[in-house]
Amino acid sequence: MIWQQLQSLAGSYPLALRGLGMTVVLSLISLVLGTLLGFGLGILRTGGNRLISVAIGAWVDLIRGTPFLVQIFLIFFILPEFCIELDAFTAGIIALTNLAACFICEIVAAGIRSVPTGQVEAALASGLSRWQRMRQVVLPQAMRIVLPPLVGQYVLLIKDSSVVSAIGLTDLTRVGWLVVQRVPNGLLVFFLVGVGYFIVCYPLIMLARRLERRMGAAHGEVQL
Amino acid sequence: MTSSPSKNGTGMIEFRGVNKWFGALNVLRDITLSVEPREVVVVCGPSGSGKSTLIRCINGLETIKDGDLVVDGQRLGDPATNMTRLRTEIGFVFQSFNLYPHKTALENVTLAPIHVRKIPRTEAEQAGRELLAKVGLADKVNAYPSQLSGGQQQRVAIARCLGMRPKIMLFDEPTSALDPEMISEVLDVMVAVAEEGMTMMVVTHEMGFARKVAQRMVFMDAGAIVESGTPDEFFAQPKTDRSRAFLSKILRH
């Protein structure tokens, strides 16, 4: 019987590849967008305008304090009530990007705050503009603090992308649900789904660990 | 006791009745002081007397509460004054060096000339090498700050300021964080800068340096300028009890 199941599973490998592809594409797009947005928000969060900082802080807390599944449902089912039609893919991208941006915002803000005031004063005193101070002096130093948790966050977000199966996107998790209806061996099927995620995440876990070691060892002279 | 501001406002740095508070603490009390072009003024006084705050106001690292502060003909706090541009004319040397740790000595020196003055990179690097050679660090151009001693870092920091060809240089206790054997190498560079005719305000307790290059000593206590005069006058005949007490403490050793 297990032999038949394996054969049947082997037959559904194109579907599995599609699911894996969907997970990777979804994660990649939302991580890239989320990183850009997260850095922007993190810079604004520490930028000195109190109103903007508080507003971003409130939004980040809201997103971090509610389940991702609920956020996806809100975007996918509630927005159409306000005549904003979204396909599942776009809704998934929006929800994941927003989630990524919020977590990355806090990581970036913490990194920026870790740069000693004297560095900003030195840059200020030599006449660098606000953006030049950020780009040339603050961010390169903040990156040492930011990079390890950032890559770690990527791993969490890739795993969180499995939640998009709830709105019908055929990602790796949903492929598991589909296949298990034909091959009634949940343990085997979802073991393989887990392996799929692990294959995507493990290189990032290794990278995060390497970065952590490198940043810990070096003092200041890390070149990005 | 304070020197009067020049009538026509030709001073490079002009404080007129400047006050500043940190909360309820009056850290600068009615400061009136004029520094002429090419003049070297040494500011001394007990810790907490407001010396650092005084020079940090000049390039806007601190803001003043009331009174006028005019630097290079521009009034600070005036909407017409472009603070970022004014800062390019003012070099500031910090007690803790504040070199950029992720950049080499040369990159520290060339960063602002390239990005603020828009000097072509090769030209800026040429000038940067010359400046580092001038402060005695020709062999350290590619070293990172963490690979340099305190004295070397402070000399890079001075070269970094000179790279902008400033009109004014401010020094905030530049040798206080240094091991004793490194102090003179930094002071030598500062003497050389002074002798080239730079307008300088130096917060320091290095009285040897003051005797050598200062045209004027300013003694501060509790946020006010208590006494000012030439170094010879100040050291030979301090006029107030507070300055006498201060001098006896720092000159005892």
Closest-CA distance of chain A to residue B71, Å: 14
Closest-CA distance of chain A to residue B91, Å: 7
pLDDT value of position B18: 94
Yes or no: say if B99 and B108 are a contact pair by the CB < 8 Å rule: yes
Q: Please indicate if any CB of chain A lies within 8 Å of the CB of B174.
A: no
The average confidence (pLDDT) of chain B is 92
Q: Please indicate if any CB of chain B lies within 8 Å of the CB of A119.
A: yes
B9 has a pLDDT exceeding 60: no
Q: What is the mean pLDDT of each run of 10 residues along chain A (224 residues)?
A: 81 88 94 97 92 96 95 88 85 94 97 95 94 94 91 93 90 90 87 92 90 66 42
pLDDT value of position A79: 82
Nearest CA in chain B to A137: B100
- Cβ-proximal residues to A3 (8 Å cutoff; 6+ apart), any chain: none
pLDDT value of position A224: 39
Confidence of residue B84 (pLDDT cuts 50, 70, 90): very high
Q: Please indicate if any CB of chain B lies within 8 Å of the CB of A127.
A: yes
Pairing relationship of beta strands B66-71 and B13-22 according to DSSP bridges? antiparallel
CB contact under 8 A, B96 and A118: yes
Q: Which domains does chain A have, with CATH numbers?
A: 2-221 (1.10.3720.10)
Nearest to residue A115, comparing CAs of B98, B96, B71?
Answer: B98
Q: Which residues of B touch A137 (CB under 8 A)?
A: 100, 111
B7 has a pLDDT exceeding 70: no
CB contact under 8 A, B101 and A221: yes
pLDDT value of position B1: 39
User: Which one is predicted more confidently, B9 or B97?
Assistant: B97
Q: Please indicate if any CB of chain A lies within 8 Å of the CB of B91.
A: yes
pLDDT value of position A120: 95
Can you read off the two tokens belonging to residue B235? 């050291």
Q: Which residues of B touch A220 (CB under 8 A)?
A: 101-102, 144-146
Query: For the ranges A7-16, B97-106, B223-232, which has the lowest average pLDDT?
Result: A7-16
Q: Which residues of B touch A121 (CB under 8 A)?
A: 61, 92, 94, 98
B40 has a pLDDT exceeding 70: yes
CB contact under 8 A, B101 and A141: yes
**Other Cβ atoms within 10 Å of B8 Cβ, number:** 6
Q: Please indicate if any CB of chain A lies within 8 Å of the CB of B10.
A: no
* Distances in whole angstroms, Cα of residue A163 to Cα of each of A102, A120, A157: 17, 41, 10
CB contact under 8 A, A126 and B87: yes
Nearest CA in chain A to B55: A125
Rg (CA), chain A: 21
Task: Provide the percentage of residues in chain B whose pLDDT is more than 90.
Answer: 85
Nearest to residue A158, comparing CAs of A211, A100, A86?
Answer: A100
Nearest to residue A76, comparing CAs of A64, A94, A62?
Answer: A94
CB contact under 8 A, A219 and B101: yes
Mean pLDDT throughout B91-96? 96
Q: Please indicate if any CB of chain A lies within 8 Å of the CB of B247.
A: no
Distance of CA A15 to the CA centre of its chain: 25
Nearest CA in chain B to A139: B102
Closest-CA distance of chain A to residue B73, Å: 18
d(CA B155, CA A153) in angstroms, rounded, equals 41
pLDDT digits (tens, 9 = 90+) for A36-49: 999 999 999 998 88
Of A118, A129, A136, the CB nearest to B98: A118
Nearest CA in chain B to A122: B98
Yes or no: say if A47 and A109 are a contact pair by the CB < 8 Å rule: no
CB contact under 8 A, A220 and B116: no
d(CA B93, CA A139) in angstroms, rounded, equals 23
pLDDT value of position B249: 86
pLDDT value of position A223: 41
Nearest CA in chain B to A125: B87
Confidence of residue B142 (pLDDT cuts 50, 70, 90): very high
Of B60, B102, B161, the CB nearest to A221: B102
Nearest to residue B154, comparing CAs of B214, B217, B202, B113?
Answer: B202
pLDDT value of position A144: 87
- Cβ-proximal residues to B43 (8 Å cutoff; 6+ apart), any chain: B51, B54, B55, B201, B202, B203, B204, B218, B220
Q: Which of A126, A132, A138 to mutate to test the interface with B (most CBs of B within 10 A)?
A: A126
- Cβ-proximal residues to B220 (8 Å cutoff; 6+ apart), any chain: B43, B44, B45, B49, B50, B51, B54, B226
pLDDT value of position A82: 84
pLDDT value of position B253: 56
pLDDT value of position B252: 67
pLDDT value of position A214: 78
pLDDT value of position B90: 96
Closest-CA distance of chain A to residue B85, Å: 6
d(CA B58, CA B90) in angstroms, rounded, equals 9
- Tally C-beta pairs within 8 A across A and B: 75
| A191 phi-psi bin (left φ>0, alpha ψ -120 to 50, beta other) | alpha
Yes or no: say if B55 and B78 are a contact pair by the CB < 8 Å rule: no
B61 has a pLDDT exceeding 50: yes
Instruction: Determine phi and psi for A90, rounding to 5 degrees.
Output: -60, -45
pLDDT value of position A141: 92
Element (H, E) at B30: strand B25-35
Of A132, A137, A222, the CB nearest to B100: A137
B8 has a pLDDT exceeding 60: no
Of B59, B91, B112, the CB nearest to A128: B112
pLDDT value of position A217: 56
**Other Cβ atoms within 10 Å of A199 Cβ, number:** 10
Closest-CA distance of chain B to residue A41, Å: 24
The average confidence (pLDDT) of chain A is 90
